[in-house]
Amino acid sequence: MTPDLDVRSRRRGLGTSQEELSEAAGVSVKRIAAMEKDGVGRADPHDVAAVNDALTRIDAARDEVPLSHSREEREALGLSVAGLAAMAGVSKKTVARLEDETTLRPNAETQRAIRTALGKAAAERELRQPVDLRAERRSLARSCTRSRNGRTSIPTRSASRSVACAS
């Protein structure tokens, strides 16, 4: 079938584990390990074809996944390499390689973890933004209206209800 297929180097180049390849190809981890150790010459041709097809599908799927993040994005959130790595559960070396584009095809799971961590950091940063209470108070005061009985209130979505304003 494909006698020159180097399963180990191709699998590692795609950043996938033997277990992931096993699941994608429908071949046992033992058989994949044997193909990596002994080559594909002695392996069942159906297994070799399944592994080759799985590697091709994994490769195509990696091309569809965009780069997980950029250094500028991380720095804009005030995160260090170590901070992002800790939040994502990956090594500092992995984050640095992704930013330097040393790792051209990062594992999809790693990319998801980093994207999730960046999303959490962005949400936390938004929560920490200071609120201008004076502007909030002015805005609230502008929306207050006086009713016939002289009370000041803020209209709500419900026509029958209103909230009293502080004078």
Contact 55, 78 (CB under 8 A): no
Task: Determine the residue type at 69.
Answer: H
Average pLDDT over the chain, rounded to an integer: 76
Q: What is the CATH number of domain 7-64?
A: 1.10.260
What distance in Å separates the CA atoms of residue 57 and residue 67, rounded to the nearest whole number? 18
Question: Residues 111-162: pLDDT tens digits?
Answer: 778 888 888 888 777 766 666 677 767 776 666 665 566 665 555 555 555 5
Counting every residue, how long is the chain?
167
Cβ atoms of 15 and 43 closer than 8 Å: no
Whole-structure pTM value: 0.43
Domain boundaries, the chain: 7-64, 71-128, 133-164
pLDDT of 49 over the 80 cut = yes
Class level of CATH domain 71-128: mainly alpha
